Structure 1
Amino acid sequence: MRVVIVTESFLPALNGVTTSVCKVLENLRARGHDALVIAPGTSPWSPTMTPERYAGYPVHSVTSVPVRQFRVGLPSYEIETVLHRFRPDVMHVASPFVLGVRGLTAARALGIPSVAVYQTDMPSYIRQHSGPAGNLTARAAWRWIRRIHQQADLTLAPSTAALHDLRANDVPRVALWGRGVDADLFHPDRREDPQTQALRRRLAPHGEVLLGYVGRLAPEKELHRLVELARVPGTRLVLVGEGPSRELLESQLPGAAFLGRQEGLDLARAYGAFDLFVHTGTRETFGQTLQEAAAAGLPVVAPARGGPLDLVEVGVTGQLFDPDAPGALAAAVRPLVAPGAAAQRGAMGREARRRVVERSWPALVDQLVDHYATAMGAAAVSVA
């Protein structure tokens, strides 16, 4: 199968969209499929450039502009040229919003079956940043999303909550496709790594219970909730990631440790140093870091909204809290960090690990290839 992936985000940017695309490419290669990537490019003076190839596949970079620390690829007719040369069997569009819209339009014009992967709850982000007009702008965003996804032969949602949102807003032809996790990289055995143990001694010199967060430090992640945890005795917050909110968070959380951006083994060791994983955002369509934490054998505390509803079973693999109730996050965390709670955390972490290992990237990409075939079949029927 020949697959072209049009993505709104790619390396060197690190986020959920980039990670998903990279894992899909690696597993398509392992299965002998052919692929090509169309992604936003970086400027020639950028310290880290968009790679020319990934997993052995060519990466075609398009002109991009920076928007709030993100690179937004500019739509142009060069996409049609690339498609004519590559002649794909199917187009995979990751989180379409600007560049992806152009990709879907080109695919429909050229008769290429398309699968759009819904990954970002843009209406909620827009509502959060639009003040009194938030509800109106969110409804406008849903109209835009519906218009985008109507062009796709199939739209894939990462969670049951996202699937419900798409259907409630009349997005047609939707199906469920989760996200995989690297259960070998994120593994409970990392806790025994000498470098992990050294990190833990540095972060918890007095035996503190470490409450870990991994993700972008930005307003949409609602990290102000972590202030509740700064007052939980016997604990220390550890934040992994970068973003525009870091300076504010450092002032709000004077006792917290900020490890900055971590990748690969360093990220796995950070998870290995944690005792409990906490998440604060209510706008996650899935929650990849929750899944990585579970693979690392950690119980997870997250809002009872969106993607975490699929990933956390209350009292079994972690706890869910009401994001509208002040103090609910701290109330969910306190029993899990109380003296004698280590055994409970261990049991939850083991069950979280057992469940998440079933969601390997190879299995998820096998499902994705089946979705590609479904889209190709649907497109053939519509043409006939």
Structure 2
Amino acid sequence: MIALIPSYEPAEHLPTLVTALAAADPGLGIVVVDDGSGPAYASIFARAAAAGATILRHDRNLGKGAALKTGLAHVHGVAPSEGVVSADADGQHTCADIVAVADRVRALGERDGRTLVLGCRTFDGAVPLRSRLGNDISRRLFRAAAGWPLSDTQTGLRGIPAALVPWLIGLPGERFEYEQRMLLGLHGAGFTAEEIPIATVYLAGNESSHFRPVLDSVRVTLPTLVFAASSLLGFAVDTIALFLLQAATGALVPSIIAARLVSASVNFFVNRRVVFLRRGREGMWRQLCSYALLAAVLLASNIVWLSYLTGIGVPLWAAKLLTEIVLFCTSYRTQRSTVFAPTYRAGGISRTAAADSSSQAAPAASKT
């Protein structure tokens, strides 16, 4: 088991944490990624190395997601059967909690386990407002997007089985949004999550955290927001086409079908390239066939709902709005977990994941 600690401009707590981890769990390897902190912090990383950590370095600040991927790529290269427990460098995760998460991953199966273990905080008592507010917004948006609840979507304390590492290395995202993408794609990649309670710790008002409430909250929720924008575009195209075609023909069902064909074509290419970050021709025919099947199911549902609602006297505009709201969540979850789920190879076995594992390799890093 490897403890992975991404760090940018760390405080004196970092070498203390490394020392404590080495003493508490001698079998736990420790990797620290210096995410471009600069010469002013060299002495802190030197003390962490002296305490037993392997230090990987970025020449410039690339973001937490990039630092995590650098560390994961290193672990996968030198110890592919080892699980990883990621922890923050700002003192929010105690040594005891890090070891507890590592032990839980071991118990579930460090090499072949299928469960991401999440150390989750309770947001009550003296919790900084920006942390409380950020988690509350992220938690609500996450449940709406993913379809399953999670009490702490922003926790950086995560126990990762070795089987999950190859997918995570290629997961899109360079900054704080990377951890949200991890959770959003987890079930579609064939894994589950388990929460264990941990202490809620904030040092000096959480001043060492580099999470920026406004910008990073936008980044964290960006995948969901982009899909919502794409769906809104498709809805607009579909609605305009429906009204024009029905006005021209007077036939509702043929107008629904024709309007959906137009909007589905637009939506497929926007979702493929912009929302789910798929490029090139690889997997395109599989995605197109899957999308066509989904579109057919949604179209049938659309016809049934619109026919029923307009038949009982609901105005067409209101019936259309209600129908699209009902079908939105189903469409998003299915596209994320099935339609645009690329294949990747882990341990010689071809698997289907919920995000693009071929999008980019982990950033290059130097090692000391």
TM-score using structure 2 length: 0.28
Structure of greater Rg: 2
- With CA pairs under 8 Å and 6+ residues apart, which has the higher RCO, 1 or 2? 2
Higher strand share: 1
Q: TM-score, normalised by structure 1?
A: 0.27
More helix by proportion, 1 or 2? 2
